Structure 1
Amino acid sequence: MSRRNRKNAPAAAPCTVTVCRGCCCGTPKIPGVDHAAQLARLRRELTGTDGRVRVTDCIDACEHGNVIVVQPSAEGRAAGGRPVWLGLVNDPDATADIATWIRDGGPGLAEPPGVLDLYAFTPSRRVRQGVDA
């Protein structure tokens, strides 16, 4: 590969944070949560190469709203990382812990802050197939 091609080669895929904003997540059905601030904070804290944030419509795990799925980076997936589904992410501290974990490497490369274990859940295979890559 020439020097020019290496310079223009895309960076390895970062972690992806999928934030559900469907029929329940991100709506007044979950009161007392500043949903816009949660999304803005994730976007602000994950700028650059740390991770990317995408918003999706309902991913059919409404009983766990607000749902956030953290997908590993390419390097994290190669190290064995798999998508982590987090539910009931309804407080700013959880949002901060997610951002910190991703900056540290995310699934496969860094252990999540211990409190995030309380938010983790396993969705049905049908639901997972709609989001997991």
Structure 2
Amino acid sequence: MPMEASRDGSVPCRVVVCRDCCCGSPKVSGVDHGEQTARLAEDAPVRITDCLDVCDQANVIVVQPSSEGRAAGGRPVWFGLVNDPAATEDIAAWVRAGGPGVAALTDILDLYAFTPPRRARATPLRDTG
């Protein structure tokens, strides 16, 4: 889904969901990957991407800041091991609250947040769907 600006030119948070070799596959059992993506899409534009090269953290979700959040110094936040509907809901609630640069990361979400290796950060967040 493309990122859309509002009438005033502001851009909302965008959620990038890895769905390649490990994330979104039967390798991570017990997760309804389609439901997870649909749930996140209720609160923000969602892009599906190829492998983000952090397979040991599957399922990986990256929340990119809104234009307001970026202006306030927000940067993309990477979440790993998002394999529970409650974690998905926590991410959705944080996005609704404003996400990076606007809303503080909750203690629970801080447990899922990680800094990807430099090679993964350099990988463009490609849209495949």
Amino acid at match of 1:24: C
Task: Spell out structure 1 runs of 4+ moving beyond 6 A.
Answer: none
Larger Rg: 1
Any residues of structure 2 matched to 1:96-115 within 5 Å, and which? 96-115=89-108
Q: How does 1:1-133 map to 2 (within 5 A)?
A: 9=7, 11-44=9-42, 46=43, 51-131=44-124
The normalised TM-score by structure 1 is: 0.85
- Gaps spanning 5+ residues in structure 1: where? 1-7
Q: Provide the aligned C-alpha RMSD in A.
A: 1.5
Identity level (%): 62
- TM-aligned CA deviation for residue 76 of structure 1: 0.2
1:129: Cα distance to partner?
1.6
Kindly state the Cα deviation for residue 84 of structure 1 after the two structures are TM-superposed. Answer: 0.5
Matched to 1:95, the amino acid is T
Cα distance in 2 for residues equivalent to 1:21 and 1:81: 24
- Equivalent residue pairs, number: 120
Q: TM-score, normalised by structure 2?
A: 0.87
Secondary structure of the equivalent of 1:95? helix
Question: What does the per-residue CA deviation read over 1:96-130, in whole Å, with 9 as the maximum and x for residues that have no partner?
Answer: 11111111110000012220111011111121121
Separation (CA, whole Å) in 2 of partners of 1:131 and 1:91: 26
CA distance in 2, matches of 1:11, 1:91: 34
